Amino acid sequence: MKLYGTITSPFVRRVRIVALELGQPFEFVSTATPEGEAELRSLSPLWKFPTAHFTGNGPERVIWDSRTIVDYLFSLHGTGPFQLPSQEESWHERNVIQALDGALEAAIHLLYFDREGMNLQSSAYLVKQSQRVGSVLTWAESQLHGASFFEKPRLGMAELALLTTLDFMVFRNRYPVAQHPKLVEFQKILSERPSIRQTYPVA
C-alpha cells in the first residue's frame, strides 16, 4: 500500500495507526512535496488525503477517505486489536465519528483562515465553526466511560477518532483540551500504545 498525505493530518494518522496495529507495511508518500502532491492529483479527483493505492497480489485499488481505507484494510487483514461495534452499538459509533470529523474539519478550516491572517472573530461563520469544536468535544467527554465510548472497555474506530482529534487540537493549538479532565485522561491511557506514540504529529 502507498499512503498519500501529511504526517500531521489526523485522518492520515488514523490509517497509519491501523496499518501499524495490523502489522501491515506501507510506503508513505508526503504530499507536502511537489512530487507527492502531483502523484496524489494523478490518483484522486478530490486531491484530498489520505488516499491509498493498493497494488501487489490482490486487485489494484485507489481508495480515498480514511474510513473507507480502514474498512478495506480490515477486509484484507482482519481487525486485529480493534473491536467493531455490535449492530445495536453501531449507530452510536457512527454518531461519534461523524461528530468528531465535523469538529476536525471545522478546526482545520479555522487553521487555514488563521494562517491567511484573518480575524477569526470577525466572521459569524468562523465563530460558529469555533463554537462547533467546543460543542463536540464537550459532548464527547460526556459520552466517555474511561477510555471507551461504551461501558465495556474496547478500542474501536470511535476511540481512535477521538484520540486523533484531541492530539490534533493540542498540536495545532486549536482548542483547550486541558479544560476537560476526562479527555485528558483518555489521551493519557491511549498514548501508551506504541502505534499512538510512533505516529504523534511533529512539526
pLDDT tens for each residue of 99-117 = 999 999 999 999 999 998 9
CATH code for the domain of 40: 3.40.30.10
What does the pLDDT average to over 23-37? 97
Q: Which domain holds residue 31?
A: 2-77
Whether the per-residue pLDDT at 121 is higher than 90: the answer is no
The total domain count for the chain is 2
User: What pLDDT does residue 52 have?
Assistant: 98
Q: 57 pLDDT exceeds 80?
A: no
Domain match, 92 and 168 both: yes
DSSP state string for 129-178:
HHHHHHHHHHHHHHH-BTTBSSSS----HHHHHHHHHHHHHHHTT-S-GG
pLDDT, average across residues 33-46: 97
- Grid coordinates belonging to 170: 493540542
Write the DSSP assignment of the chain as a string of letters: -EEEE-TT-HHHHHHHHHHHHTT---EEEETTSHHHHHHHHHH-TT--S-EEEE-SSS--EEEESHHHHHHHHHHHH--TT--PPPTTTHHHHHHHHHHHHHHHHHHHHHHHHHHTT--TTS-HHHHHHHHHHHHHHHHHHHH-BTTBSSSS----HHHHHHHHHHHHHHHTT-S-GGG-HHHHHHHHHHTTSHHHHHT----
Closest CA to 25 of 58, 66, 73, 81: 73
Backbone φ, ψ for residue 167 (5° rounding) = -65, -35
First-to-final CA distance of the chain? 25
Q: Please state, for a pLDDT cut of 70, what percent of the chain lies above it.
A: 100
Cell reading at 30: 508526503
60-88 average pLDDT score: 95
d(CA 114, CA 109): 9
Residues 119 and 167 in one domain: yes
| Residue 105 counted as domain residue | yes
Which CATH number fits the domain that encloses residue 137?
Answer: 1.20.1050.10
* Mean pLDDT of the region 168-186: 97
Tell me what the mean pLDDT of segment 61-81 comes to.
96
Strands across the sheet with 2-5, in order?
27-30, 2-5, 51-54, 61-64
Cell 477486509, residue located: 75
> Is there a single domain that holds both residue 130 and residue 182?
yes
Q: What is the mean pLDDT of the chain?
A: 95
Residue 154 has pLDDT above 80, yes or no: yes
The pLDDT of residue 152 is 85
The answer on pLDDT for 202 being more than 90 is: no
Mean pLDDT in residue range 42-50: 96
Q: Are residues 109 and 62 in the same domain?
A: no
Q: Do residues 91 and 69 both lie within one domain?
A: no
Q: Is residue 160 included in any domain, yes or no?
A: yes
Q: Is the pLDDT of residue 90 over 80?
A: yes
Same structural domain, 99 and 186: yes
